[in-house]
Amino acid sequence: MARAIELAERGMNTTAPNPRVGCVLARDGDIIAEGWHEQAGGPHAEVMALAALEDPQAARGAIAYVTLEPCSHHGRTPPCADALVAAGVAEVVIAATDPNPSVNGAGVERLRAAGIACRTGLLGEQAEALNPGFILRMREGRPFVRVKLAQSLDGRIALGNGASQWITGPEARADVQAWRARASAILTGIGTVAMDDPSLNVRLEGHEGQPLRVIVDSRWRTPAAARTLALPGEVLVAGCADEPVPDLLAVSPATLLPLPAAPGTAAGTAPVRVDLHALMAALAARECNEVHVEAGGQLCGALLAAGLVDELMVYIAPCLLGSDGLPSFVLAPLEDMAARPGFDWIDRQMFGDDLRIRLRPQYRDS
């Protein structure tokens, strides 16, 4: 199963909106074939492994190790459970069950009904970690949100005048490219677009296609000349449905996504702002699994306050940006230490001179 997980990782940047899945066929303790899901629309991992057998008869009596429950429904390809039954495997060992409502245990049932022994849960946690976005989208109808920030030792993400390029070194910035590449969408706020005019694309050698780029922009202020709008790939500008769209933006290459205003912001007491829950539901409806956020403190703070951050990834550079620098999270003042948001460690690693820390907000556990 550990090998099947390694194989699944090969599809890290290419399977969305499908999950990353690997499969190993074994007999008498030896691997006889392996496969992984390479691309949405292409064959699933089980079918790839079966096709890799020199002699199709060799599957008879073999054990299939699969990182995700074999599908039982006709999607873009026929059910993998049927392919395993037809191939005559004796046993299927599954790491994680598929939360997709059209599978969700039905794959296991189908295999058992055909007399095939099934076990689930082997390296289940590691297998689920391959697909945090797919799993959350199936279970909760929203994507997995990873917030990336580059900050100084004094917790600032830009100078007081807004300049932030570059806080971290080339090694950290290269690492960010790999995280962008695995995401279904890259999300920023209009504040960052106005200040930095970022590209927000993937610039990895050999990488094909681009994640969806999303600008959260309640009052449709995105300049039609923004750099990101002219680059290959789709750009979505998410604004408030009741706000007028300027003509230039309406005829720009951007796709406009009108959304409701966040509760409490439409009443005139606060500036009208996009409802971030509605935004995430809209991105899930577009089959976005992982959303990679590179925004300023306003949007990062609002996402955190809305309970929509699943992972925080912060690159800390060994420098100071000064007390008028911009904070990583703009949050309402806290008056009680007991109410301070807490985080659990995922990992930490050096990239050149910068330290990358990854954390999980504790509210995800409650």
Ligand X SMILES: NC(=O)c1ccc[n+]([C@@H]2O[C@H](COP(=O)([O-])OP(=O)(O)OC[C@H]3O[C@@H](n4cnc5c(N)ncnc54)[C@H](OP(=O)(O)O)[C@@H]3O)[C@@H](O)[C@H]2O)c1
Residues classed as catalytic:
46
Residue 302 assigned ligand-binding role: yes
| 274 near ligand X, rule: CB under 6 A | yes
| 307 near ligand X, rule: CB under 6 A | no
Residue 180 assigned ligand-binding role: yes
Nearest-approach distance from CB 197 to ligand X, in angstroms: 10
Coil vs helix vs strand at 293: strand
| 302 near ligand X, rule: CB under 6 A | yes
191: number of Cβ within 10 Å = 20
Query: Considering CB under 6 A, how many residues would be counted as binding ligand X?
Result: 33
Token pair in block for residue 295: 């925004």
| 189 near ligand X, rule: CB under 6 A | yes
| 262 near ligand X, rule: CB under 6 A | yes
Contacts of 128 (CB under 8 A, 6+ apart): 95, 96, 135
Residue 218 assigned ligand-binding role: yes
Q: Which stretch binds ligand X (CB under 6 A): 14-22, 34-42, 87-95, 151-159?
A: 151-159
| 299 near ligand X, rule: CB under 6 A | yes
- β-pairing, 22-27 with 117-120? unpaired
DSSP 71-96: P-S-SSS--HHHHHHHHT-SEEEEEE
Burial of 327 (0-12, 13-18, 19+ CB in 10 A): middle
| 292 near ligand X, rule: CB under 6 A | no
Q: Of the two residues 62 and 240, which places its CB atom closer to ligand X in the complex? A: 240
Q: Which of 99, 296, 325, 361 binds ligand X (CB under 6 A)?
A: 296
Indicate the residue type of 255: T
Residue 288 assigned ligand-binding role: no
Q: Which of 15, 72, 210, 218 binds ligand X (CB under 6 A)?
A: 218
| 304 near ligand X, rule: CB under 6 A | no
Q: Which of 69, 217, 311, 354 binds ligand X (CB under 6 A)?
A: 217
The tokens 């971290």 sit on which residue? 168
16: number of Cβ within 10 Å = 24
Residue 164 assigned ligand-binding role: yes
Draw the binding track, 318-347, toward ligand X (x: CB under 6 A; -: no contact).
Answer: --------x---------------------
Do residues 331 and 301 touch, judged by C-beta distance below 8 A? yes
| 249 near ligand X, rule: CB under 6 A | no
Question: Which phi and psi angles does 56 have, rounded to 5°?
Answer: -55, -25
Query: d(Cα 333, Cα 348) in Å, to the nearest integer?
Result: 28
80-87 helix and 106-113 helix, angle to the nearest 10 degrees: 20
Nearest-approach distance from CB 341 to ligand X, in angstroms: 16
Coil vs helix vs strand at 183: coil
Do residues 257 and 236 touch, judged by C-beta distance below 8 A? yes
Q: Tell me the H-state helices in the chain.
A: 2-9, 45-51, 80-87, 106-113, 124-129, 132-140, 170-182, 190-196, 247-250, 276-285, 297-305
**Which residue's Cβ has the minimum distance to ligand X?**
296
| 162 near ligand X, rule: CB under 6 A | yes
| 186 near ligand X, rule: CB under 6 A | no
Interacting residues with ligand X (CB under 6 A): 149-151, 157-158, 162, 164, 167, 188-192, 195-196, 216-219, 221, 262, 271, 273-274, 276, 294-299, 302, 326
Task: Summarize the annotated binding site as residue ranges.
Answer: 44, 71, 80, 150, 164, 166, 180, 192, 196, 200, 203, 218, 294, 296-302
Task: Summarize the annotated binding site for substrate as residue ranges.
Answer: 164, 180, 200, 203, 294
Task: Summarize the annotated binding site for NADP(+) as residue ranges.
Answer: 150, 166, 192, 196, 218, 296-302
Task: Summarize the annotated binding site for Zn(2+) as residue ranges.
Answer: 44, 71, 80
